[in-house]
């Protein structure tokens, strides 16, 4: 079946968009969908052990979110750094675009300037920053890159990191992991469920909008991921794998398309998981509720089935679940 972008659209009342996480983290709601029985159960995340298979291994993305959003003039000027070539040269999204024309040097403060070296087809700027980015003058302008549907609130900065975040490099949080507390992870370990850490630095590949009406024409931006030798051994020995988040799915499925088993690796992936995809390394999935028309929603539809995804999301809306990054979770078995 061929899908268009509108097939992944849905209406969501604004009040369902979570502006703050549950407190404590694991008190978010949990929707459990069993693919075999096609049944939905409503619960709380702290009860996830009631549903996880005891033979499973939790695969978590330990990437840590960078303060890559630079805001100047009370937020009227923005440089969102996507990639860093060196201490002065970056690729970035900018606002307002009309100020950042090719060849122009933009004065951001009395001491900070950005020279626009290039503008690509998608409007991303290559900028030469002065002074270099390791200068402490930038510290007061660095902000957590909350998505646009969440009000900028630095007091929530730590809440936008998983408790196991370690490897700095993401431009957005791997949000499915935000529901775990240290105490819940300890309980899970006590039950004999092992945890395996991978790293995928979240970038445009995860959150860039789909613009093509025929989704097959969408090109994913690549994202860097890493699997250590220790993690590869755990994954190969696992009887069952539960991916915590779509980014962990991208690692598992990308790795098994390169080799028949998991190996120690560092590489880029532009894998686009959509309905019709054949999963090789993912047996269950913990994820949040994603934006309409997003590649993340398409990945969920690939895992559950398209009609099943629509059923799950309608149930979540009817039951007033909280959506998006700080919202509630689902477990797909």
pLDDT tops 90 at residue 205 = no
Long-range contacts of 81-90 (CB under 8 A, 24+ apart): 81/171, 82/124, 82/171, 82/203, 82/204, 83/203, 84/133, 87/132, 87/133, 87/134, 88/128, 88/129, 88/130, 88/132, 88/133, 89/117, 89/126, 89/127, 89/128, 89/129, 90/126, 90/127, 90/129, 90/133
Contact 135, 61 (CB under 8 A): no
User: pLDDT value at position 166?
Assistant: 97
Residue pLDDT, tens place only, 142-158:
999 999 899 989 999 99
Spatial CA neighbour of 300 closest among 243, 238, 241: 243
DSSP-based three-state secondary structure for 291? coil
Residue pLDDT, tens place only, 175-204:
999 999 999 999 999 999 999 999 999 987
Tell me the pTM. Answer: 0.95
User: pLDDT value at position 206?
Assistant: 76
Domains and CATH numbers, the chain: 5-65+154-332 (3.40.1780.10), 69-143 (2.40.10.240)
Mean pLDDT, the chain, rounded, equals 96
Cis peptide before 131 (omega within 30 of 0): yes
User: pLDDT value at position 204?
Assistant: 78
User: pLDDT value at position 323?
Assistant: 98
Q: How confident is the model at residue 209 (pLDDT cuts 50, 70, 90)?
A: confident
224-231 mean pLDDT: 98
29-47 mean pLDDT: 98
Residue pLDDT, tens place only, 252-299:
999 999 999 999 999 999 999 999 999 999 999 999 999 999 999 999
Question: Residue 229: in which H helix or E strand, if any?
Answer: helix 229-237
User: pLDDT value at position 59?
Assistant: 98
Q: How confident is the model at residue 226 (pLDDT cuts 50, 70, 90)?
A: very high
Q: Which DSSP state fits 239?
A: S
User: pLDDT value at position 208?
Assistant: 80
Residue pLDDT, tens place only, 315-330:
999 999 999 999 999 9
User: pLDDT value at position 193?
Assistant: 98
User: pLDDT value at position 2?
Assistant: 86
pLDDT > 90 fraction of the chain, expressed in percent and rounded: 94
User: pLDDT value at position 184?
Assistant: 98
**Tokens linked to 4:** 């268009």
Q: Which DSSP state fits 1?
A: -
pLDDT > 70 fraction of the chain, expressed in percent and rounded: 100
């Amino acid at each position: 079946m061929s899908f268009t972008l509108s097939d992944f659209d849905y209406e969501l009342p604004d009040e369902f968009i979570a502006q703050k996480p549950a407190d404590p983290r694991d008190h978010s709601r949990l929707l459990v969908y069993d693919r075999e029985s096609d049944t939905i159960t409503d619960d709380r995340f702290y009860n996830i052990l009631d549903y996880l298979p005891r033979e499973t291994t939790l695969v978590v993305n330990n990437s840590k979110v960078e303060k890559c959003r630079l805001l100047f003039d009370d937020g009227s000027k923005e440089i969102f750094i996507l990639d860093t070539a060196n201490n002065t040269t970056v690729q970035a999204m900018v606002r307002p675009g009309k100020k950042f024309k090719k060849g122009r040097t933009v004065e951001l403060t009395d001491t900070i300037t950005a020279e626009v070296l290039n503008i690509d087809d998608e409007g991303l700027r290559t900028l030469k920053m002065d002074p270099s980015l390791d200068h402490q003058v930038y510290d007061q302008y660095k902000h957590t890159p909350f998505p646009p549907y969440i009000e900028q609130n630095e007091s929530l900065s730590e809440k936008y990191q998983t408790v196991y975040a370690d490897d700095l490099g993401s431009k957005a949080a791997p949000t499915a992991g935000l529901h775990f507390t240290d105490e819940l992870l300890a309980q899970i370990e006590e039950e004999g469920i092992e945890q395996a850490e991978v790293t995928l630095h979240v970038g445009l590949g995860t959150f860039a909008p789909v613009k093509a009406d025929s989704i097959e024409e969408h090109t994913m931006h690549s994202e860097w991921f890493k699997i250590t030798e220790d993690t590869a051994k755990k994954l190969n020995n696992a009887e069952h794998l539960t991916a915590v988040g779509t980014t962990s799915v991208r690692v598992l499925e990308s790795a098994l398309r390169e080799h028949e088993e998991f190996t120690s690796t560092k590489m880029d992936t532009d894998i686009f998981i959509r309905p019709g995809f054949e999963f090789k390394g993912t047996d269950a999935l913990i994820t949040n509720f994603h934006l309409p028309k997003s590649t993340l929603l398409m990945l969920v539809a690939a895992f559950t089935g398209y009609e099943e995804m629509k059923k799950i999301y309608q149930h979540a809306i009817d039951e007033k679940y909280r959506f998006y990054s700080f919202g509630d979770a689902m477990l797909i078995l």
